[in-house]
Structure 1
Amino acid sequence: MILAAAAVALASCGGNAPRRSAQQETGAFKPDIHNAETSLDYRGTYRGVLPAADCPGIETTLTLKPDGTYSLHEEYLERNARFDAEGAYTLHGNLLTLEGSDTTWYKVEENRLRRLTTDRKEVEGPLAEHYVLRKTAE
């Protein structure tokens, strides 16, 4: 009787185990091809105020054009300094690279670009959200 109860208990526990799909059984996994290049409408104009060491911030407008080029306008707040740049950009996965006199990197997110450090990592800490440009309706 005890043996029968133990068998029923083991059988009921086995039913809760996640079932493996045919792909898992054969090892034929399909790679997840969802990235900015295939999933997001990343082209367009992005704006925001990025942190600066010697002024309250840099008002930044970045436009990614369909032909693979960009235009960048930066205006330093409370200073009489403006800079414009143009060049080509590339996108590999979610990594956007702006080629020019200074190469810069952004992580493409849903309707946002996150400025990355020179070693292509996200800024961490309390200022992290200040390194984001948001897509405009233009």
Structure 2
Amino acid sequence: MKKNVLILAAALALVACGGNAPKKKAAAETQTTTAAVPDMHTAETSLDYLGTYEGTLPAADCPGIQTTLKLNPDSTYELHMKYIDRDAEFDETGVFTVKENLLTLSQLDDGSEEYYKIEENRLRMLDAEKHPVSGALAENYVLQKIK
């Protein structure tokens, strides 16, 4: 009789411990979802934005402004603007910063700022609120990288 009681106690102990075992999940429950990893690529880390850019920007009182912008490795820039069909040329120097895809030119003379969006091998001029120029001439506010 003692032997039967011991076997019964051992069986009860095994059954009681078996209830704490992890339950198998259905196939749908075992799938895990992963959040999309944000793209951490920015012009600052991914694009070679240093160099020389050229283009003809629209102007109100002449056919356009031939523009050359050079971004130097020491975070300085040189900007040359020549008004087509007019006897007017201007040079500007300053420093620039890049944050994400925003290029900010800060003029040394008066501290005024201009903004460009850095794109692959080109710069898109932005307005004072840092928005791309819109309208029929929007695609003309782009400087192409030449070297």
Q: Displacement, 1:30?
A: 3.9
SS at 2:74 equivalent: coil
Please give the alpha-carbon distance, in whole angstroms, between the structure 2 residues aligned to 1:69 and 1:104. Answer: 14
Larger Rg computed on CA atoms: 2
- 1:74 is matched with 81
Please give the alpha-carbon distance, in whole angstroms, between the structure 2 residues aligned to 1:20 and 1:51. Answer: 53
Structure 1 unmatched runs, 5+: 1-14
Supply the RMSD in Å over aligned alpha carbons. 1.8
Q: TM-score, normalised by structure 2?
A: 0.74
Number of residues of Structure 1 aligned to a counterpart in Structure 2: 116
Which runs of structure 1 show a deviation greater than 2 angstroms over 4 or more consecutive aligned residues? none
Q: Displacement, 1:42?
A: 0.3
- 1:123 is matched with 133
Please give the alpha-carbon distance, in whole angstroms, between the structure 2 residues aligned to 1:132 and 1:73. Answer: 15
Aligned positions of 1:1-138 closer than 5 A: 21=33, 23-24=34-35, 30-100=37-107, 101=110, 102-137=112-147
Please give the alpha-carbon distance, in whole angstroms, between the structure 2 residues aligned to 1:33 and 1:117. Answer: 25
Q: TM-score, normalised by structure 1?
A: 0.78
Please give the alpha-carbon distance, in whole angstroms, between the structure 2 residues aligned to 1:84 and 1:92. Answer: 25
